[in-house]
A and B are shown apart, each in its own frame.
Chain A
Amino acid sequence: MSNGYVRKEMLHELPAPDGTKGIFYWLKTNLFSTPLNALATFIALYVIYKVVPPVIDFALISPAWFGENREVCATLKQGGVKPDDWFGACWPYVGANMKLFIYGRYPPDEIWRVNIVYLMFAISGACLLIPKVPYKLPNLLFMFGVFPVAAFVLLTGGHVMLDGFLVAGSFMGPSFAAFWVDFLILTCIFIALATFIARGTDSDPMPSIRMVILGMVVLAVVMAIISAPLGLEHVETEIWGGLLVTLVIAVSGIVASLPIGILLALGRRSKMPAVKMLSVMFIEFWRGVPLITVLFMSSVMLPLFLPEGVTFDKLLRALIGVTLFQSAYMAEVIRGGIQALPKGQYEGAMALGLNYWQMIQKIILPQALTLVIPGIVNTFIGLFKDTTLVLIIGLFDFLGQIQSSFSDPTWATPVQAMSGYLFAAVIYWIFCFSMSRYSIFMEQRLDTGHRN
């Protein structure tokens, strides 16, 4: 064994070789590594030069910022005050119509109600989305239990006319009391059903009966609240508009389509042929047609499908259309998550003695849903963008409200449309982009490292 020389002390760090540091090196490796690359860089720079400065000029350098009417946004030739070669955005028009864009034609005196709903949604939503905030469970209960009812009452004003729905009208006239009688009958039927099923499976009927009673009591409270005269003025959905309609459709669409989507996804993987076939048919049908035809169908044909005398308002019809359409997409996303789980998870659950619903609830869904969070958020982003289509069936969502404001002669100038669309584009972009960022953040947070 030879005793080689072993260095005892650390060597000094040498500076990097010449030409491997600094801005020129970065430019050389990242932009001009080959002649072809250099050419590509110049082409890209030219395209950027052609696109970016004009947009910035239009939106931030040249626009009119203050003013009362169209004069500040028009050139001399068009009857305004700007020089003839002026071309810029008309921001005072957007400012003047801001209320319209956010609330539609909601009565000005009642706007505080919309504000409360926005505020509740924003605070509760933010607390749910930020992982560090405590009290997740109460917040969740608030968001999915209290908030929908509160928002419904605040936005519409409550006063839902309740009516009998079981016993024929000839037996007992349609009235408030008839509803509660029918409600009681329904409760008894449910209790009987629960008992019957419990008997059939040889298990204790008390827990399921208790569940039924609890559910019906909660439902009764909700019904009582939405029908109670709370002194709020009734606001027709006809005059809702702007961001309000966009958010109502997007949020109720996603909340309603998630559970339906889960059921459809489970149905599609079911071993029962009839259940499987029906789920597949439902999913393939709604996925195969454009949303616009679904909206046409819900606005034109839904009234024909219903028994005579039953009418839905326009917004609700659009909501039904959007939900049916969206739940089919949601089902496919969730199916992807369920399929991605290894078989061992099912076998493990069965080996523990869990029944089907316990297995789905405790083992399968938590993992499957975590896996497909990006897909769910993508579906939601898609839905958010798709809400714009309701303007084609005559509802005034955010884009629809902007589109309709063009007919206002106070601000009619050639730059009006571009200003309005630019504003809309920025708002939609902020919403969609932040959602996609959030989904990436969540994906990284929930990544358990089990993949691969």
Chain B
Amino acid sequence: MAVDKGGGGVSGEVANTGTQKTAFFNDPKVRSSVIQAILIAILVYAVWSLISNTATNLSAQGKTFGFGFMQNASGFDVNQSLVEYSRESSFWRVYLVGLLNTLLVAILGIFFATLIGFSIGVARLSKNWIISKAAYCYVEAMRNIPLLLWIFIFYFGVLRLLPGKREPYGVSLDGALGYLSVGGWIAPKPIAGDLLWLTGIAIIIGIIASYFINSWATKRQMATGQQFPKGLTTLGLVVGLPIVVFLLSGLPLSFDYPKLARFGARGGMSVLPEFIALLTALTIYTSAFIAEIVRAGILAINKGQTEASYALGLRAKPTLNLVIIPQALRVIIPPLTNQFLNLTKNSSLAVAIAYPELVSIFAGTALNQSGRETEIIMITMLTYLVLSLLTSSFMNWYNNRMALVER
């Protein structure tokens, strides 16, 4: 008996078969259009009331909505900027400075976090007992403590214990790597020589050439089965060629080394303590998550794959390069990209220690200076949203390319 008493849609249908058409609201098409229409109506109403409320509230405060103010002079200073900036610069310039600083810390953070994360992840699988246990402790210690607390620990805790600006701590002999003090890191400043552009061109040529050689080698291998030392050629073209050009053009790079003077180090370039604290915290925090992703990725590869590869006569190294790593990457890349995204978004915590990145100077200082909450928060959120969507669309593209094609 398929009759239920629970008021569900089924009983009506069963009872009325043959004598009557399906009840109005039981028709899936009608029902779904009614539900969607109601939903859209609610949404439109919500958005409309949101906008009208905001408009009323803004006009009550004597404000108008618009982005004209972005042309105005900002009127405040920023202590680190990758582009030219002064108090007279516009709010657009502030936005650009913040965005570039965010990208700087994000890109460096991603680089270091990946490096450390991969090492720790591999170390966790090491057969050496002490290495794997130490890596385990590292991961559990780093990821179970909030990132903001890490930032505070490095900024207010560790960096404040450094000596004062007048007697900085030389990082290596005679300050060849600069000086550390509570004022940050006075690092050697690279000065480009006349012929440095040649090295830059060599890098670009190396990348393009290795791309073409690799695709040619893949085609040849597909056709003839002959292998080509791809890795070595790429390394030679991308790293070796620029080094040769660099040496031949007469080492066109010199450093302005900071020197100790009476009131602290002179010369060089200064790296803000906020930057050091933020970068360190982001790096170690994210590296713990990356380590777990790498470990899971390697463990996810079935042991049978290694055995099959050995059975085919491949030795350990080609097995790793041709069988294990390509499959592990498929598992690792999506969550890894997520971590890159998280790191970029987490760089916004810099607002707590006032490193001048997007949220800190644009959604913080610029907002207070201009009093335009709505516009500035909108721009900030949209910026991060665009960054995220770009990354995730890249991730989807990559995923589709790498995905296992099954019948």
Q: Which residues of A does B touch, CB under 8 Å?
A: 30-31, 33, 37, 40-41, 44-45, 47-48, 197-198, 200-205, 207-208, 271-275, 278, 284-285, 287-293, 296-297, 300-301, 303-308, 353-355, 358, 381, 385-386, 388-389, 391-392, 399, 403, 406, 414, 417-418, 421, 424-425, 428-429, 432-433, 436
B153 within 8 Å of A by Cβ?
yes
Of B2, B36, B373, the residue contacting A300 (CB under 8 A) is B373
**A274-B36, A414-B161 known; A202+B377 contact, CB < 8 A:** no
Chain A-chain B contacts (Cβ-Cβ < 8 Å), number: 192
CA distance A29 to B333 in the complex (A): 34
Given contacts A200-B25, A201-B26, A399-B149, contact A288 B384 (CB under 8 A): yes
**19 further A-B pairs in the complex, CB-CB below 8 A; given A284-B388, A355-B9, A436-B144:** A30-B128, A30-B129, A41-B131, A44-B134, A202-B12, A275-B35, A288-B384, A290-B348, A293-B381, A297-B377, A304-B374, A392-B349, A392-B351, A392-B352, A418-B153, A425-B145, A425-B149, A429-B145, A432-B145
Q: Chain A residues near B156 (CB, 8 Å)?
A: 406, 417, 421
Chain B: CB-nearest residue to A389:
B148
Q: List 18 A-B contacts (CB under 8 A).
A: A41-B128, A45-B130, A197-B25, A202-B23, A202-B26, A207-B7, A274-B36, A275-B36, A288-B385, A289-B381, A289-B384, A290-B346, A293-B380, A297-B377, A307-B49, A385-B145, A417-B152, A421-B157
Assess whether B147 is interfacial by the CB under 8 Å rule: yes
Q: CA–CA, A353 to B3, complex, Å?
A: 10
User: When the two chains form their complex, are residues B345 and A289 in contact, meaning their CB atoms are under 8 A apart?
Assistant: yes
User: B399 contacts the other chain (Cβ, under 8 Å)?
Assistant: no
**A362, B360: Cα distance in complex, Å:** 48
B148 touches A399 (CB 8 A): yes
Kindly list chain A residues whose C-beta atoms are within 8 Å of the C-beta of B58: 304
- A30-B129, A297-B381 known; A289 and B388 CB under 8 Å? yes
A403, closest chain B residue (CB): B152
A118 vs chain B, min Cβ distance (A): 21
Q: Is the CB of B146 within 8 A of A388?
A: yes
Q: How far is the CA of A64 from the CA of B95 in the complex (A)?
A: 47
Nearest-Cβ distance from residue B407 to partner chain A, whole angstroms: 18
Give the contacting residue for B7; candidates A44, A48, A203, A417; CB below 8 A: A203
CB-CB < 8 A to B384: which residues of A?
Answer: 288-290, 293
From A45, A274, A297, give the contact of B39 (CB < 8 A). Answer: A274
Inter-chain CA distance A392–B348, complex, in Å, is 11
Docked CA distance A278–B126 (Å):
46
Q: State the interface size on chain B (CB cutoff 8 A).
A: 73
Q: Is the CB of B345 within 8 A of A301?
A: no
CB distance from B352 to the nearest CB of A (A): 6
Assembled-state Cα–Cα distance A204/B387 (Å): 53
Out of B2, B53, B349, B389, name the residue touching A284 (CB < 8 Å).
Answer: B389
Report if B16 contacts A (CB, 8 A). Answer: yes
A308: chain B residues within 8 A (beta carbon): 53, 56-57, 60
* B165 interface residue per 8 A CB criterion: no
Distance from B95 Cβ to chain A, minimum over Cβ atoms (Å): 14
Contact B373 A301 (CB under 8 A): yes
Known: A290-B384, A385-B147, A388-B146. A207 touches B128 (CB 8 A): no
Determine how close the nearest CB of chain A comes to the CB of B34; give it in whole angstroms: 9
B294 to chain A, nearest CB (A): 17
Q: Say yes or no: B345 contacts A290, CB within 8 Å.
A: yes
The chain A residue sitting closest to B285, CB to CB, is A385
B153 contacts A301, CB within 8 Å? Answer: no
Q: How many Å from the CB of A237 to the closest CB on chain B?
A: 21
B60 adjacent to A433 (CB under 8 Å)? no
Cα A45 to Cα B128 in complex, Å, equals 12
Residues in A whose Cβ lies below 8 Å from that of B388:
284, 287-289
Chain A residues lying within 8 Å of B215, measured Cβ to Cβ, are none
Given that A201-B26, A275-B36 are known contacts, is A432 also in contact with B130, CB under 8 Å in the complex? Answer: no
Q: Are B157 and A47 in contact (CB under 8 A)?
A: no
Q: Which chain A residues lie closer than 8 Å to B385 at the CB level?
A: 285, 288-289
Q: Could you tell me the distance in whole angstroms from the C-beta of A282 to the nearest C-beta in chain B? A: 10
A428-B149 in contact (CB<8A): yes
B162 CB → nearest A CB, Å: 12
Residues of A within 8 A of B57 (CB): 303-304, 306, 308
In contact, B160 and A414 (Cβ under 8 angstroms): yes
CB distance from B158 to the nearest CB of A (A): 8
B residues 389-407 with Cβ under 8 Å of A? 389, 392
Are A200 and B24 neighbours in the complex by a CB distance under 8 Å?
Answer: yes
Instruction: Name the distance in Å between B371's Cβ and chain A's nearest Cβ.
Output: 11
Known: A203-B12, A418-B157. A208 touches B130 (CB 8 A): no
Shortest Cβ distance from B36 into A: residue: A274
Rounded to whole angstroms, the CA-CA distance of A300 and B80 in the bound complex is: 27
The smallest C-beta distance from A396 to any residue of chain B, in angstroms, reads 14
In the bound complex, CA of A203 to CA of B26 (Å): 10
> Is the CB of B6 closer than 8 A to any CB of chain A?
yes
Closest chain B residue, CB of each to CB of A29: B127
Asked if B149 and A201 make an inter-chain contact with CB atoms under 8 angstroms apart, the answer reads no
Residue of A nearest to B352 (CB): A392
Tell which of B54, B134, B153 touches A304, judged by Cβ atoms closer than 8 Å.
B54
Set of chain A residues within 8 Å of B160, measured between Cβ atoms: 414, 417
Contact of B157 with A429 in the complex, beta carbons under 8 Å: no
Assembled-state Cα–Cα distance A271/B31 (Å): 12
Q: Are B381 and A307 in contact (CB under 8 A)?
A: no
